[in-house]
Amino acid sequence: MSDGIGRVETQRAVVFDDDRPLVLESGARLTHVEVAYETYGTLAADGGNVVFICHALSGDAHAAGFHGDDRRPGWWDNIVGPGRPLDTDRFFVVCANVLGGCKGTTGPGSVDPASGRPYGLRFPLLAVRDLVETHRALLRQLGVTRLLAAIGGSLGGMQALQWSLDHPGEVGGALVVASSGRLSAQNIAFSAVAREAITRDPDFAGGDYYPDPDAPADTPPPQRPNRGLALARMIGHITYLSEESMREKFGRRIQDAVEPRYGFDVDFEVESYLAYQGQSFVERFDANTYLYMTRVMDYFDPFADRAYVGRQVAAGRAAGGGGTSYLVLSFDSDWRFSTEHAREIADELRSAGAPVTFRELSAPHGHDSFLFPVPEYHRTVAGFLDRLAAGRSVHAA
């Protein structure tokens, strides 16, 4: 593997304003939308080498490289960079923090221009389509009108799928990884419990736990619902791992002792690991964003109107670019979005007449497998992008 892309910077752009507000799928309007994004590589003269990364629930714009003196690279650094599947010697790679996010893009923690105070739960509910429209607005500012590919895992895969269905003439290939076209009752239930953990935290304060902009400078900031958010993360993280990976990482090993201490404090290594995950998460994420993003996923159902999907696929294939080709990937250890979810996506797309390649890959990491440098996974992604770049359609396998 190469040494990667080195130091990068997050940039920001205002993509909607008073003169051109964002009208959401709900009908609500946002009159100021700022987007945080990063780019890697060089945009080709013809603009034909753009790969857009759509991130998952807890991700952000910092997909690759390093910020400042940080020793920890971006969350998808193993797949982005010179010689890697998203090869920045060939592709111009863009990653943006989603609408509703908390890492530089307008979301519940942003100031509402109408009130001068953070939105909190007054921020409108979102749909995956709204996330996509914000990405598209950013690309227009960057002078990009068509993607070679959109790629994402989990919620990111939902965005790539929605983008390709609504705007098939804009997306040459959609790589939908470890994702779902419709959450199961079990998935919705996990998210519901996580949201309850947040909203029942005494410091949640109805979502208004942000500093008061009108408070005196020496006023201490309010407490945030860190306990609830940490618990939500712990619940979610359990579902992202496989039983095999947890057994190999932790087994029944005791933390910092030879024998059990027989109490209710942290005793097993897995307990310590989950506590660490929860604490580190509250240091970088916002509880309200967690609420909004999990609800976005709950309501996602792009194949509910099959007639619409069929018309869009047909229109895309009739267009000059030939529409969208799909790579749908699942991992055999992922029980959160199992292979059944991926097969349903592939079957729906094939029924609509889209060219689809489907693969179930072997990896031990559970749902999080899409974040790991699994060799066959990386070869599959690289091969699909190679074929797109060569201008060849990717047909069903």
The one catalytic residue in 334, 341, 365, 368 is 334
Q: What is the pLDDT of residue 251?
A: 83
Report the pLDDT value the prediction gives residue 2, as an integer from 0 to 100.
58
The tokens describing 48, both together, are: 């034909």
Instruction: Note the pLDDT tens digit of each residue in 316-336.
Output: 988 877 799 999 999 999 999
Residue ranges of the chain that CATH labels 1.10.1740.110: 187-294
In this predicted model, what pLDDT tens digit does every residue of 210-228 receive, in sequence order? 998 888 888 898 999 999 9
Task: In whole angstroms, give the CA distance from residue 242 to residue 248.
Answer: 10
Integer-rounded Cα radius of gyration of the chain = 21
Q: Which of 5, 70, 71, 73 is nearest to 40 (CA)?
A: 5
- Alpha carbon distances (Å) from 247 to 75, 243, 251, 252, 272: 24, 6, 4, 8, 15
Express each pLDDT in 106-144 by its tens digit.
999 999 999 999 999 999 999 999 999 999 999 999 999
Map tokens 């958010």 to a residue: 229
DSSP lists the bridge partners of residue 376 as none
CATH number of 187-294, picked from 1.10.1760.20, 2.40.50.140, 1.10.1740.110, 3.40.50.2300 = 1.10.1740.110
Say which of 58, 110, 154, 242 is annotated catalytic.
154
Q: In which residue ranges of the chain is CATH 3.40.50.1820 found?
A: 11-185+300-389
Quick one: fold of 11-185+300-389?
A: Rossmann fold (3.40.50)
> Mean pLDDT of all residues in the chain?
94
Q: Are 66 and 163 in contact (CB under 8 A)?
A: no
Q: List 175's β-bridge partners, or say none.
A: 151, 327
174 pLDDT more than 70 = yes
pLDDT of residue 378: 98
Identify whether 180 is a catalytic site residue: no
Q: Across the strands, what pairs with 29? A: 23
Looking at residue 145, its amino acid is T
Asked if 130 is an active-site residue, the reply is no
The active-site residue out of 135, 330, 367, 368 is 367
Q: Is 334 annotated as catalytic?
A: yes
Question: Can you tell me the mean pLDDT for 183-191?
Answer: 97
For residue 143, the SS3 value is coil
Q: Which residue has the tokens 């959109």?
A: 150
Write down the pLDDT at residue 157. Answer: 98
> Which long-range contacts (C-beta less than 8 Å, at least 24 apart) are formed by 206-212?
206/120, 206/121, 207/108, 207/120, 207/121, 207/122, 207/288, 207/291, 208/118, 208/120, 208/121, 209/120, 209/287, 210/109, 210/117, 210/118, 210/120, 212/117
Mean pLDDT of 71-89: 96
As a whole number, mean pLDDT of residues 338-351 equals 98
Question: pLDDT class for 3, splitting at 50, 70, 90?
Answer: confident
Which of the four pLDDT bands, split at 50, 70 and 90, describes residue 360? very high
pLDDT band at 256 (very low <50, low <70, confident <90, very high): low
